[in-house]
A and B are shown apart, each in its own frame.
Chain A
Amino acid sequence: DAGVIQSPRHEVTEMGQEVTLRCKPISGHDYLFWYRQTMMRGLELLIYFNNNVPIDDSGMPEDRFSAKMPNASFSTLKIQPSEPRDSAVYFCASNSPTGTGVTGELFFGEGSRLTVL
C-alpha cells in the first residue's frame, strides 16, 4: 500500500485566498483524522471521520475551516478565507480498529505545509 497520501506538500498563498488540502487514506481504513502542527501549539486534532461521517469537529478553529469526506478514499480540508495564523503543517492520518475495542495505531501522511502571507 502507498500509505496515506496528502497533497499539496507545500502551499504558499496570500491572506484571504481559499486553500484546499487533500488526503487519500489507506485502503480499508475506516477512520480518518486531520491534525494541525505548529511550534506554539504542537499537534492539534481538528476533526475525525468514521465511515465518511464526521464524528468530532470540536477542534476546528472556526467557521473558516471545513472538512468533507465524500467517499472512503478521499477527504478535503478547506480554509476560506485563509489568514497568516493558519500557517502550519496539516497532517492527515487514518486507522482501523484491530479488533473489537482495540485501538489501532495512526498512519500519517507526509503533511501539507501551508504558508499564508
Chain B
Amino acid sequence: AQSVTQLDSHVSVSEGTPVLLRCNYSSSYSPSLFWYVQHPNKGLQLLLKYTSAATLVKGINGFEAEFKKSETSFHLTKPSAHMSDAAEYFCVVSDLMTTDSWGKFQFGAGTQVVVTP
C-alpha cells in the first residue's frame, strides 16, 4: 500500500525568500514520486519527478526536490519565491515495478502557497 502526507496545508512566504514544501510517503516497493502544481482554474502541471535515478531532482521554474529513502521524504524547495509561484502543490506517489499498482497514483492533500510582496 502507498500513501503520501503533505505536512503543511498552507505556506506563506515573502517574494525572494526560500520555499520549502514537505512531503512524506510510504510505499511497499520502489516508488515513483512527483510534484505537481495547480494554478487557479487550471489543470495540474508536472514540476518534477523521481523514478530511481538521481536522488536530487531538478524541475521547471527553479524547483528541485530530494528523495531521501531513509526519511521517506521528498521535499520540494526553491531558493527564491516569485509571485507567480502562488498556487497549490501536490505530492504524488506511485509504486514502481508492480503492475498491480499501476494506475494507482496517490495524491497528497495539497499545500497552498501564498507569496507576499
Interface residues of A (CB under 8 A from B): 4, 31, 33, 42-43, 45, 48, 50, 55-56, 91, 93, 97-98, 101-103, 105-111, 113
Contacts and interface: CB of A to CB of B under 8 A. Distances in A.
Interface size range on B against A: 20 to 34
A101 B97 contact: yes
A103 B94 contact: yes
Contacts of B34: 105-106
Interface of B: 32, 34, 36, 41-46, 49, 51, 90, 92, 94-99, 102-105, 107, 109-110
Contact of B96 (A45, A48, A102, A105): A102
Contact of B51 (A33, A56, A103): A103
A33 B103 contact: yes
Given A50-B103, A101-B97, A103-B32, A108 B45 contact: yes
SS class, residues of chain A in contact with chain B: strand
A43 B103 contact: no
Contacts of A108: 36, 43-45
A42 B109 contact: yes
Nearest to A48: B103
Given A42-B107, A42-B109, A42-B110, A101 B99 contact: yes
A47 to B, nearest CB: 10
